[in-house]
Amino acid sequence: MKIYARWMTLTFIAVALFSACGTLRARPTPPRNNLCLWLDASQRNSVETANGDAVGTWKNLAPRGPNAVQAKSDLRPLLVKNALNGSSVVRFDGKSYLQFEETREEPGDLTVFVVSRRLQEQASDSQWQRLLSCWVSGVKNDRTLPCFQLPAGEKGSGEPYSATIDKVAIGGVRIGPLTIGANRQHKSGKFRGDIAEILLYEKGFDSPKDMHAVQRYLQEKWGAKLSREDMGWTRVGSLGKMPERVTDTLPLSEQHAEDKWEIYKPLTDEFEGMQLDAKKWFPTHMRWKGRKPALFWEENVEVDDGKLHLTMRKEEAPDMPKGYHDYTSACVHAKDTVKYGYFEVKAKPMNSAGSSSFWFRNSSPEWVTEIDVYEIGARSPGFERKLNMNLHVVRTPTEKKHWGCGGKWIAPWDLGDDYHVYALEWNENRIKYYVDGVVVRSVPNTHWHQPLYMIFDSETMPDWFGMPEDEDLPSTYHVEYVRSWKRK
């Protein structure tokens, strides 16, 4: 009886150990729905090498999509074993790259996650190094739809990087021809660093929860951190069901939250009458003359027909300061600062490459932060439907280097064609962006706790939107109202 009991005990231990080992051997896997490209350097035999560790093929593990990503025979990255969290990575040296030619011909939604790092010896002064680049022939660059790119950062440095998870979520793009580790045209932007895993989904994520499931999988597997530039969720695709306006006394997205919000009059204006309310607004910027070459000019600010109008013109103003020439634009700056609240505007951007912007900023010796609710270049090629939403930290008591994190929602309409309702909800924990009452971006509030000024303006942005065409000027940015609320 004792022998039988001992045998049973040993059998139970053996089964338990086998079960435990099986659990340990089981690899976590990413969500598979709409996954079309999965490159994982940690998977045995997924990377084929030749002549030692030179990568020839990186196999796609996704249930559908291209079979493999190929390397150029003379420009091959290397497979480096036990490099990151005990697993292999593919190492790029600033010359090598991978590519595949299969495409999704019709533009659609896309979300990409990349786990990468740069060690001290991989530092480079090359700017805009590409983790991924899709550049279709005949398109100006890989930042113009239907193309896309995911940079590893604007500049390498001599400091070691821990592994980060970078992502891009965008609509209206193709999936190839795609290059990994270089600008698609192979002229610049070559990546120096390690790539561990790439997940490409033919969809946008409908909620932060679904997106965070992918990020958790990558964080736990690689010991990677989410890059702060990509810490938020941005909607991809249409808005879906939009709320109906019942009352003007509440935000469009919260039409039945009577107990939550109360109107904040210092930053609420229906722009009735024939002139700007001097108690609330300056007709120019308090500290800045505008982005060169366009000069902020008070005569370009008008209130008429129940709206605020900010106009950009091709003209010279008297005694323009050095660096300003040929163009005038407009700015309206609040007289009071605000910290936290809900801010809603109904606006129609100007139909030129001049920007139409709604933003918040303040400067002090210790703090300089900024929230850009939107920056729109409604007739800039490739930007006609892009709603650019950005956050900036220029200086805080603990941060001295300027950095930002942004999101781009691609609208199903040209933004300059009509009025839409844009809004910002800003509290101590989170920052949310809305279009027509629907959330399009959500970001944790890690730094934006400084009272800021509300600003409307138009600028020339030659390095981003390009200069406006002469035939598009004058062009006018219209704001029907701005309404602000504070929590009760």
**Can you spell out the DSSP letters for 102-139?**
----S-EEEEEEEEEE--GGG----EEEEEEEE--TTS
**CA–CA distance, 147 with 127 (Å, rounded to integer):** 19
pLDDT in tens, the chain (488 residues): 444 444 434 344 333 433 444 444 457 889 999 999 999 999 988 999 988 899 999 999 998 777 778 887 778 999 999 999 999 999 999 889 998 887 788 899 999 999 999 887 777 666 678 999 998 888 888 888 899 999 886 555 545 567 889 898 888 899 888 899 988 776 667 899 999 999 999 999 988 888 989 999 999 999 998 877 677 899 998 999 999 999 999 999 999 999 999 999 999 999 999 999 999 999 999 999 999 999 999 999 999 999 999 999 999 999 999 999 999 999 999 999 999 999 999 999 999 999 999 999 999 999 999 999 999 999 999 899 999 999 999 999 988 889 888 889 999 999 999 999 999 999 999 999 999 999 999 999 999 999 999 999 999 999 999 999 999 999 999 999 999 999 99
Domain at 448, CATH number? 2.60.120.200
DSSP string, 31-83: --TTEEEEEETTSTTSEEEETTTEEEEEE--SSSS-SEEEEBTTB--EEEEEE
CB 239 within 8 A of CB 387: no
| Enclosing domain of residue 168 | 35-230
Q: Is 296 within a domain?
A: yes
**Domain match, 268 and 191 both:** no
Q: Is 22 within a domain?
A: no
| The amino acid at 179 | T
- Domain boundary (230, 265, 283) is at 230
**Domain match, 267 and 133 both:** no
As given in the structure block, the two tokens for residue 204 are 């946008």
What pLDDT does residue 188 have? 67
**Domain match, 279 and 383 both:** yes
What pLDDT does residue 125 have? 64
DSSP 320: P
**Domain match, 339 and 273 both:** yes
**Domain match, 221 and 272 both:** no
**Domain match, 332 and 440 both:** yes
What pLDDT does residue 349 have? 98
What pLDDT does residue 126 have? 64
**Domain match, 322 and 420 both:** yes
Q: Is 146 within a domain?
A: yes
- Domain boundary (168, 195, 230) is at 230
**Domain match, 409 and 450 both:** yes
Cross-strand partners of 423: 344, 434
What pLDDT does residue 436 have? 98
Among 50, 203, 206, 28, which Cα is nearest to 113's? Answer: 203
Q: For the chain, what's the residue count? A: 488
The CA-based angle 440-370-124, given to 5 degrees, is 90
What pLDDT does residue 304 have? 96
Instruction: Count other C-beta atoms under 10 Å from residue 120's C-beta.
Output: 11
Could you give the C-alpha distances from 192 to 43, 57, 79, 92, in angstroms and in order?
22, 19, 14, 5
Domain at 49, CATH number? 2.60.120
- Domain boundary (169, 199, 230) is at 230
What pLDDT does residue 176 have? 82
Helix and strand numbers (H, E) in the chain are: 2, 32
What pLDDT does residue 251 have? 98
Q: Is 107 within a domain?
A: yes
Query: Please, what sign has the CA dihedral across residues 331, 334, 339, 341?
Result: negative
- Domain total of the chain: 2
Q: Is 382 within a domain?
A: yes
**Domain match, 273 and 417 both:** yes
**Domain match, 226 and 256 both:** no
What pLDDT does residue 157 have? 53
